[in-house]
A and B are shown apart, each in its own frame.
Chain A
Amino acid sequence: MTQAPAATAPATLFDKLWQAHEITRRADGASLLWVDRHLVHEGSHHAFAKLAARGAPVAEPQLTYAVVDHYAPTRGRDAIPAGDIRRMIETLGQNAHRHGLRLFGLRDPDQGIVHVVGPEQGLTLPGFTVNCGDSHTSTHGAFGALAFGIGATEVAHVLATQTIWQMRPKTMRITVVGQLGPAVGAKDLALHWIARLGADGARGHAIEYAGPAVRALSMEGRMTLCNLSIEGGARLGMVAPDDTTFAYLKGRPFAPAGADWARAVALWARLPSDDGAQFDREVEIDASDIAPTVTWGTSPEEALPITGHVPNPAQLPPARAARASEALDYMGLSAGQALQGVAVDQVFIGSCTNGRIEDLRLAAKVLQGRRAKVPGLVAPGSALVKAQAEAEGLDRIFTQAGLDWVEAGCSMCVGMNGDLVAPGKRCASSTNRNFKGRQGRGARTHLMSPAMVAAAAITGTLCDVRPLLEGRV
């Protein structure tokens, strides 16, 4: 590691990114930040309406990209019936056309979930600020970018000015020492730390993930980890860029090329936190402590190793007992019940958390030559992921196992496109939120890795994927 110049205090990755984007700071402490990438989707209709009400143009159409994902049908795209879904998709298309934005529409070979498309197109780059009206924008932090979700008022502000007012968050480093075990991945790591610190455990903080277990993750794994930062309450999550990052980005359509590539890599290599840089908060996690992890309740913090038992409210302090009872009741589980063996009705593999090629490869490894006992949906994160998976024959593994292989989009993670879990049904899901009603009114969601979802499909129950992957990885 190079030392920071003597005159400058050692800086964190976050400090460097914040400073590089701060245009000005008000006396009250709010900073005006430049936005390098602004991603919009169908849900941005409120912000476009605000812009229209002012008669304002989009300040930087070249830095603004529109993606159809939340409402994207995963089947029957050629004949979408009239109604809300079609209207939402058409409205985004009209707004993109009106303002001259690049649109990744339903028929685009590069369409997909905004947080999958951005990285795979090379739109997301180290050293950038990335905003999107979606909380899982934290995903893009995997590249060493300052990436955070914003609300509609802020989306309208970014559209109109290409800047955003922010109060500086505190910094927090989560150092993951040791090595993740076989069949234990970024999803398990994320659910593990959220269960330990709480769903509001990192509130008000910008997280940097560090340590050997994080360094060893692929870009897909880093994206999963950063994606779930918001589920632990963090404002954003980041991993410092390294050779893994550069190798992923080289040659991507929107990544710098030629002389700019070398110049960019030289700049990016200076982004990692300096030795001795101070964080407001430090947390250490031992990767070897982590088992495949599953949520049992209705908040991502309500997660346990698959070998565990759900809480018994009678043994909890009163303040926690009421909450646990309510969550168990909603989830249809009994006090103290073992997680292994809980029967599931269906499975879902996909989402901005776990809809990338590596996720599908691992799930396919579990499913190869086996049959699912319950129905399920596999929705790739993008059309490119879908094409890649089909080139590798993964689609046939899923369909031969009895699962449905469909088009790319947010799908059953949030159900806006009509892919819903019926009331009272239990779904093993590779998604990010087990909130009440998230996958449909009354739906019961268990979050887990795509490999664990595949294992649940085969046995029809929550179960440990490790024996099923023995000899396969």
Chain B
Amino acid sequence: MSAGWTHHSGTAVALDLESVDTDQLIPARFMSVPRVQGYGPYLLHDLRYDGAGQKLPDFVLNRHEGASILVARRNFGSGSSREAAVYALVDFGMRVVVAPSFGDIFSANAVNNGLLPLALPEADVDQILAMLVAQPAEARVDLQAGNLRICGRDYAFQLPQVWREKLMNGWDDIDLTTARAPQIAAYKTARRASTPWVWPS
């Protein structure tokens, strides 16, 4: 779990694609790497590098390597449960992804790593992409207020309270759960009595 945050200001860039799936975010061949080595180089690898491993100079993330807010089209992060897709974004430096919709598992993984999956209506995203197409822009995200400010415009966004608090507090769920050990133990006793076949003999 990363440290919590309430505001983020950074450079927003447009990735004008829909269904940027987990296999594009990080191709499977890189997933055996231990996290400590850093996953940033693998983010969108096959869009960023040619077959010989050379950077493609026109690709948006190669032109703007300091970007921390990514704006894309619908169905971002669909596919696999690989948390490595989020590691690649976070290790590259991303803090926020803006899109009309996200894969459910991707969103949960993102929040668990301090990355905000910021969902906006398609029309808003279209407008933002149009503003960013020529060049990136500075943007500011306020988690508490639920507001994205970019190119002088404000976009309000909704966030489940669970996610907001986790992002702001940098919570580690295991610590929170361990505090509930007596409730878990009581549940387990009842489960053993009602469905003993959960524990195969």
Q: Is the CB of B83 within 8 A of A29?
A: no
Q: Is the CB of A29 within 8 A of B162?
A: yes
Query: Which segment, of B4-12, B137-145, B146-154, B192-200, faces chain A?
Result: B192-200
- Could you tell me the distance in whole angstroms from the C-beta of A391 to the nearest C-beta in chain B? 27
The answer to the question of B177 belonging to the interface, with a C-beta cut-off of 8 Å to chain A, is yes
Query: Which segment, of A9-17, A174-182, A429-437, faces chain B?
Result: A429-437
The answer to the question of B86 belonging to the interface, with a C-beta cut-off of 8 Å to chain A, is yes
A135 contacts across to B, CB distance below 8 A: 79-81, 105
User: Complex Cα distance A256/B198, Å?
Assistant: 9
Which residues of A254-271 have CB atoms within 8 Å of chain B's CB atoms?
254-256, 260, 264, 267
The answer to the question of A46 belonging to the interface, with a C-beta cut-off of 8 Å to chain B, is yes
Query: Which listed residue, B29, B31, B165, touches A28 by the CB 8 Å rule?
Result: B165
- The A/B interface has a contact count, at CB < 8 Å, of 174
The answer to the question of B191 belonging to the interface, with a C-beta cut-off of 8 Å to chain A, is yes
Query: Which listed residue, B18, B32, B180, touches A23 by the CB 8 Å rule?
Result: B180
Query: Which listed residue, A156, A233, A260, A326, touches B78 by the CB 8 Å rule?
Result: A233
Interface residues on A, range: 35 or more
B196 contacts across to A, CB distance below 8 A: 256, 260
Which residues of B143-176 have CB atoms within 8 Å of chain A's CB atoms?
160-162, 165, 173-174, 176
Which residues of A424-449 have CB atoms within 8 Å of chain B's CB atoms?
433, 435-438, 441-442
Residues A441 and B104 in contact in the complex (CB < 8 Å), given A87-B32, A167-B162, A260-B197: no
Which residues of B50-106 have CB atoms within 8 Å of chain A's CB atoms?
51, 74-75, 78-84, 86, 101-105
- Could you tell me the distance in whole angstroms from the C-beta of A468 to the nearest C-beta in chain B? 32
Residues A153 and B113 in contact in the complex (CB < 8 Å), given A28-B162, A63-B199: yes
User: Complex Cα distance A203/B188, Å?
Assistant: 31
Query: Which segment, of A112-120, A158-166, A283-291, A366-374, faces chain B?
Result: A158-166
The answer to the question of B3 belonging to the interface, with a C-beta cut-off of 8 Å to chain A, is no
Q: Is the CB of A62 within 8 A of B113?
A: no
Q: Is the CB of B83 within 8 A of A267?
A: no
Residues A34 and B188 in contact in the complex (CB < 8 Å), given A63-B198, A163-B177, A165-B173: yes
Query: Which listed residue, A23, A30, A49, touches B34 by the CB 8 Å rule?
Result: A49
User: Complex Cα distance A326/B200, Å?
Assistant: 51
Query: Which listed residue, A34, A128, A150, touches B187 by the CB 8 Å rule?
Result: A34
Residues A200 and B23 in contact in the complex (CB < 8 Å), given A36-B198, A153-B83: no
User: Complex Cα distance A54/B177, Å?
Assistant: 14
B24 contacts across to A, CB distance below 8 A: 435-437
Q: Is the CB of B51 within 8 A of A200?
A: no
- Could you tell me the distance in whole angstroms from the C-beta of A428 to the nearest C-beta in chain B? 19
Q: Is the CB of B161 within 8 A of A28?
A: yes
User: Complex Cα distance A29/B163, Å?
Assistant: 11
User: Complex Cα distance A414/B183, Å?
Assistant: 40
A163 contacts across to B, CB distance below 8 A: 177, 184
Q: Is the CB of A34 within 8 A of B28?
A: no
Residues A436 and B78 in contact in the complex (CB < 8 Å), given A151-B86, A167-B160: no
User: Complex Cα distance A200/B77, Å?
Assistant: 11
The answer to the question of A411 belonging to the interface, with a C-beta cut-off of 8 Å to chain B, is no
The answer to the question of B27 belonging to the interface, with a C-beta cut-off of 8 Å to chain A, is yes
Closest 9 CB pairs of A and B: A151-B109, A256-B197, A151-B83, A153-B112, A152-B83, A149-B81, A435-B23, A28-B161, A135-B81
Binding site for B on A (CB under 8 A): 23-24, 26, 28-30, 32, 34, 36, 43, 45-46, 49, 54, 56, 62-63, 71, 84, 87-88, 125, 127-128, 133-135, 137, 148-154, 156-157, 160-163, 165, 167, 169, 198-200, 203-204, 230, 233, 235, 254-256, 260, 264, 267, 298-299, 323, 326, 414-416, 423, 433, 435-438, 441-442
Binding site for A on B (CB under 8 A): 1, 17-19, 21-24, 27-29, 31-32, 34-35, 46, 51, 74-75, 78-84, 86, 101-105, 108-109, 112-113, 160-162, 165, 173-174, 176-178, 180, 183-184, 187-188, 191, 195-200
Q: List 19 A-B contacts (CB under 8 A).
A: A28-B162, A32-B184, A36-B198, A49-B35, A148-B105, A151-B82, A151-B86, A153-B113, A153-B173, A157-B177, A160-B174, A199-B19, A199-B78, A200-B101, A203-B103, A230-B79, A256-B197, A264-B197, A433-B80
**Known pairs A32-B177, A62-B200, A199-B78 / 14 extra A-B pairs, C-beta < 8 Å:** A28-B165, A32-B183, A34-B184, A84-B32, A88-B32, A153-B83, A153-B113, A157-B174, A157-B177, A161-B174, A233-B101, A264-B197, A415-B29, A436-B46
